[in-house]
Amino acid sequence: MHVKKGSTRRSKPRSSSSDSDAVPTEDLDDNATPVSVTTGVKRKSNAERPVQIKKNSRTSLNEASSPLIEDNSVEDEAELQLLAIEARRLDFEVSKWKQQQKLRRETLQLKAEEISLKEATTRQTQQTQVMELKAKVLKALDKVGTTPAQARKYLALLEG
């Protein structure tokens, strides 16, 4: 039952009160009319009303939060997968770094061995050159006719 006010209809905000709030028109005084009649607003049937969660109702809270829990579990699962991927990537990076460090240590060790071998070779070459020089000096002193005592003095001077 709708009553029009004037010749134009105005669009008013719809009330979301339930059917239990309605007052039968037989119980109203002559001056009291229901709000829905005076404002021209239709009441929504239970099927048209959006589902509202009551704060005191445990079952409706659990029902409403279960999609959130499912969403959270999906998000948590995705986050866990991302963390697992990141952990594998970090493990790979660590193993790669360890291999690089191992290669660097081996390279340094090989270079150190190479340097020590070169030093040994250089020492041997120098010793060979010194021995050749001594042999040439002894030959030259022998040609000149010096005594072995004088030859030892010259060799002592060369060794310094």
pLDDT, one tens digit per residue, over 104-152 is 999 999 999 999 999 999 999 999 998 998 899 889 988 988 888 888 8
Q: Using an 8 Å Cβ cutoff, are 138 and 155 in contact?
A: yes
Q: Using an 8 Å Cβ cutoff, are 40 and 5 in contact?
A: yes
Q: Please, which residues have CB within 8 angstroms of residue 146's CB and are 6 or more apart in sequence?
A: 154
- Number of domain units in the chain: 1
Residue 3 in tokens:
């009553």
Query: Does residue 103 form part of some domain?
Result: no
Query: Does residue 30 form part of some domain?
Result: yes
Domain limits for position 11: 1-50
More confident residue, 42 or 121: 121
Residue 53 in tokens:
């969660």
Query: Does residue 40 form part of some domain?
Result: yes
Residue 151 in tokens:
């030859």
Query: Does residue 150 form part of some domain?
Result: no
Query: Does residue 13 form part of some domain?
Result: yes
Measured CA to CA, the distance from residue 148 to residue 138 in angstroms comes to 9
